[in-house]
Chains A and B, each alone.
Chain A
Amino acid sequence: MRQTFLRRLYFVAIALFLAAPLIVVAGVSVNEKQDLAFPPKGFSLAWYAQIFADPEWRKALIASLSLAVTAAALAVAIALPLAWFLWRRIAPWANVFQILGLAPFILPPVITALGMLTFWATTGFYGQPWTAVISHAIFFVTLPLVTLSLGFASIDRSLVEAAATMGADDRTVLKTVVLPLIRPYLVSGYAFAFVLSLNEYIVAYMTIGFTLETLPIKIFNALRYGYTPTMASVSVFFVAVAALVFGLIAKFGDIRRLLGAMSSET
């Protein structure tokens, strides 16, 4: 009894620690006037409408969404053939590319950001919106690469062999057997890259920070010149998007497996 109680207490403490700043931000975001007050004075959802109504915030929202949608797609396009090749072929030296794909994510982000900055500055494309798409795709290629590698590892090779015995060539096997089996991993890889790209600050800032504002850049710039409640409502919006995406992955896939639990049985 006492142990159950202590465990509950521990879990509640961690949950409170994780939720506290978000609760305060959610509270601040519904203030009626432009104060930074908690508990909120009055109630208004006007600051949520601001995200879409105010042209500056809307522009940042559109910039962020288009960046995340395209960068995540490019990341998957890089990761899919690579993961497939590594699964299909025995070529030890090709693991170099896997390490290259994992490196940007493991190193401190400021390094990738600075590498991109020097590269785009040297090639003369500094500030072009598409440079951020490529930079983010490389920065986040790790996520689809990891989920897809897990996906390929989970395929029962006898299924593929059966298809090949029946006369299917590589392309047919890929289209009719392999792709349907790894689709959940493909989707979650895309979703991870999408959410993280949406939230990413430093790489976006160092590549397009002076020409285009994404939402995180916009929040940070606004933060330096004082407080507007729209920052709070945008933050809540971001938390909601992340929770929604990961909730959907959990509902339609096996999030425990994706995060390293061996099988879905344990």
Chain B
Amino acid sequence: MKREAPKSLADYSPLFFPGLMLIVFFVIPFSTMIAVSFFQRDPSGFYTPDFVFTNYARFLSLFFAKVLGFSLMLAVMVAICCVVIAFPFTFLLTRRPRKVQTVWLVCLLSVLSLSEVIIGFAWSTLFSRTAGITNLFVAIGLMKEPVALLPSFWAVLTGMVYQALPYTILVLYPALVRLDPTLLEAARTLGASPVRAFMNVVVPALRNTIVATLIMVFVFALGSYLLPQILGRPSHWTLSVLITDQAIYQSNMPFAAAMAVFLVLMSLALVGLTLLVGRRENAL
């Protein structure tokens, strides 16, 4: 049976249910959200229909600029840390026996699937005064007495790198596992040391993959909404936290929706960029 174009209406029938579900429960909610971003806030309920730009005008405040700037900076730092740590690791992992790879992948998936709540709770315990890592430093004589390492910026960054690292490795994995091993062998035969061969052959060959991964991890990190709350101070709140806060606690859905629309546009632009980078790689 070859692939063929659908001829009758019945041939389309498998599409009915998925199409209906995706349109009703994704496209419509998404459009509702865009519509709500132009609505007026109604302090007594959710909102009243209208067409105003006031929700978007609030972006021009210093407070919003600060939150946006901080979110972008944090996501960039997370992306860079993750790719720097994950790239050599993933490369070495793909050269290991299949069994070793499988065990690592199972562990990575298990960590990746963990709820942000659990990651936040686990790191807040590890950074706490009573049960934290500083007790270990005291025990081996590095510190005088245990201290709490949170709330702080470094705690937020560590938590977010922890959350994004398995994701980074799994995004890099397909490209690295398919890398032609003869490339490296050639470099080695010509006398390059393993580190040199890695830096001068593997890294340049996968330059576009690295850029695409940086963007993917950046978008992933933008979505973090609990870790800044659990591990940081209010000054470490990101755009995602602010959206949740406005929608739930301030019941200002229109403003939350406007910020969400902004976040979508930014993410979409970046994902589009990734696809463009990926296409260039395939063309080469």
Q: Which of B102, B165, B177 contacts A250 (CB 8 A)?
A: B102
Q: Does B156 contact A (CB under 8 A)?
A: no
**Contact between B219 and A108, CB atoms less than 8 A apart:** yes
Q: Which of B2, B85, B114 contacts A14 (CB 8 A)?
A: B85
Complex: how many Å from CA A205 to CA B248?
A: 10
Chain B: minimal CB distance from A237 (Å): 10
What is the size, in residues, of chain B's interface with A at 8 Å between Cβ atoms?
Answer: 89
Over the window 24-57 of chain B, the binary record of Cβ atoms lying under 8 Å from chain A Cβ atoms (1 yes, 0 no) is: 0111111011001000000000100000000000
Residues 23-64 (chain A) with a chain B CB within 8 angstroms: 24-25, 27-28, 35-38
Inter-chain contacts of A87 with B (CB < 8 A):
3
Inter-chain contacts of A225 with B (CB < 8 A):
none
Q: Which residues of A contact B (CB under 8 A)?
A: 3, 7, 10-11, 14-15, 17-18, 20-22, 24-25, 27-28, 35-38, 77-79, 81-82, 84-85, 87-91, 94, 97, 100-101, 103-104, 106-111, 113-119, 121-122, 134-135, 137-138, 141, 157, 160-161, 163-164, 170, 173, 195-196, 199-202, 205-206, 209, 216-217, 219-220, 223, 231-232, 235, 238-239, 242-243, 246-247, 249-250, 255-256, 259-262, 266
Inter-chain contacts of B23 with A (CB < 8 A):
100
**Contact between A106 and B115, CB atoms less than 8 A apart:** no
Complex: how many Å from CA A17 to CA B30?
A: 38
Q: Does B153 contact A (CB under 8 A)?
A: no
Q: Does B199 contact A (CB under 8 A)?
A: no
Interface stretch of the complex, out of B62-70, B120-128, B276-284: B120-128
Interface stretch of the complex, out of B183-191, B200-208, B260-268: B260-268
Chain B: minimal CB distance from A190 (Å): 14
**Contact between B17 and A78, CB atoms less than 8 A apart:** yes
Inter-chain contacts of B123 with A (CB < 8 A):
21
Complex: how many Å from CA A84 to CA B13?
A: 11
Complex: how many Å from CA A121 to CA B253?
A: 10
Chain B: minimal CB distance from A82 (Å): 4
